[in-house]
């Protein structure tokens, strides 16, 4: 199924912006020392006494300067031109520090970079590792749940399991997105736009999943909801809507969907123009509804 390049770039940017929430949280936690409990001064030769009902204060976690330096270099390499270098740094980081508190953030960013390069097996592997560390990572849930139905082989023995996995991911993301905290580096408008793009992508993913399951009515509803929120329209969504509306014999609505698809430059434009003409003929031949 065709993936629209400009839409993909918007999606990746929006999800990366939202993933900064997790990254900033991890970095903030790493800079905080555990709060020490106040205890009475010890007498000479005695260990400090703990207050009644309190445990002895935990030791501050040890900080590896080399790990911090490696993560900072990875985190700061955030331009498209640095993608290859960032992938190398990320792969080296998780290989050297597999139990790092930063591992989930690194895997989530690697997932997005692998997607941008269409290295899908690596993308799925990084996504699974990120979600094993944090099942609530919205950036991972939304993107993997959207990519699976676009690229799945419907004849595969594993297709049903993968579609169910993608559906669960998108539904979980839709539960999390309304309560997602705003990163300190984003304005209210930037955050609202990023959330809307993520919501749009989640509904688009669910629509494609329903399409693969031949649940056309629910698919149309999800795709329409996704397009209402999208900052950049997706011709694939309009094309799929048109096909489904034809199957539902809603030919007038199919014409509208195909025409919207045809107005978006890309590989689907000519096909959508042809399908729009086909749907017009079907609409004209359709018997008038009873009065």
Pure H helices in the chain: 5-31, 65-76, 83-96, 103-116, 120-133, 138-151, 159-176, 188-212, 216-229, 235-247, 251-262, 269-285
Within 10 Å of residue 233's Cβ, how many Cβ atoms? 18
- Taking only the tens place, the pLDDT of each residue in 120-159 is 999 999 999 999 999 999 999 999 999 999 999 988 899 9
- Hunting for tokens 């609202």 — which residue is that? 192
Q: Residue 101 contacts by C-beta under 8 Å, 6 or more apart in sequence?
A: 26, 29, 30
The answer to whether 212 and 204 have CB atoms below 8 angstroms apart is no
Q: Residue 48 contacts by C-beta under 8 Å, 6 or more apart in sequence?
A: 39, 40, 41, 42
Q: How does DSSP classify residue 7? A: H
Read out DSSP for 65-111? HHHHHHHHHHHH--SGGGHHHHHHHHHHHHHH-TT-TTHHHHHHHHH
CA atoms within 13 A on the CB side of 209: 25
The answer to whether 108 and 131 have CB atoms below 8 angstroms apart is no
**pLDDT value at position 182?**
85
Counting every residue written for the chain, the total comes to 291
Average pLDDT over residues 215-222: 98
The answer to whether 64 and 70 have CB atoms below 8 angstroms apart is no
- Taking only the tens place, the pLDDT of each residue in 35-88 is 444 434 444 444 444 444 555 555 555 778 999 999 999 989 888 889 999 999
Look up residue 193 and give its two tokens.
């736009």
The answer to whether 228 and 204 have CB atoms below 8 angstroms apart is no
- Taking only the tens place, the pLDDT of each residue in 165-184 is 999 999 999 999 999 888 88
Average pLDDT over residues 8-24: 55
**pLDDT value at position 92?**
97
**pLDDT value at position 55?**
55
The answer to whether 235 and 272 have CB atoms below 8 angstroms apart is yes
In the predicted model, is pLDDT for residue 271 greater than 60? yes
Region of 266 (left: φ > 0; alpha: ψ -120 to 50; beta: rest) is: left
* pTM, to two decimals: 0.81
How many whole angstroms separate alpha carbon 193 and alpha carbon 285? 42
């Amino acid at each position: 199924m065709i993936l629209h390049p400009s839409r993909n770039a918007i999606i990746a940017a929006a999800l990366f912006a939202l993933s900064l929430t997790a990254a900033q949280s991890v970095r903030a936690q790493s800079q905080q020392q555990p709060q020490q409990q106040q205890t009475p001064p010890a007498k000479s030769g005695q260990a400090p006494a703990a207050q009644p009902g309190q445990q002895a204060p935990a030791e501050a976690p040890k900080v590896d300067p080399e790990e911090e330096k490696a993560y900072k270099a990875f985190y700061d390499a955030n331009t498209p031109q640095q993608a290859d270098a960032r992938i190398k740094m990320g792969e080296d980081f998780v290989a050297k520090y597999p139990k790092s508190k930063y591992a989930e953030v690194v895997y989530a960013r690697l997932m997005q970079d692998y997607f941008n390069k269409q290295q899908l097996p690596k993308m799925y592997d990084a996504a699974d590792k990120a979600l094993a560390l944090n099942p609530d990572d919205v950036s991972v849930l939304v993107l993997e749940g959207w990519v699976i139905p676009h690229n799945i082989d419907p004849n595969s023995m594993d297709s049903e399991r993968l579609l169910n996995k993608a559906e669960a991911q998108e539904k979980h993301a839709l539960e999390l997105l309304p309560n997602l905290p705003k990163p300190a580096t984003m304005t209210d408008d930037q955050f609202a736009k990023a959330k809307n793009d993520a919501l749009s992508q989640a509904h688009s993913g669910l629509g494609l999943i329903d399409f693969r399951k031949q649940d056309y009515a629910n698919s149309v509803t999800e795709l329409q909801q996704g397009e209402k929120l999208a900052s950049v329209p997706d011709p694939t969504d309009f094309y799929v809507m048109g096909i489904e509306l034809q199957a539902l014999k809603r030919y007038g609505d199919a014409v509208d969907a195909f025409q919207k698809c045809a107005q978006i430059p890309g590989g689907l434009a000519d096909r959508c123009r042809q399908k729009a003409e086909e749907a017009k003929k079907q609409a004209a031949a359709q018997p008038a509804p009873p009065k």
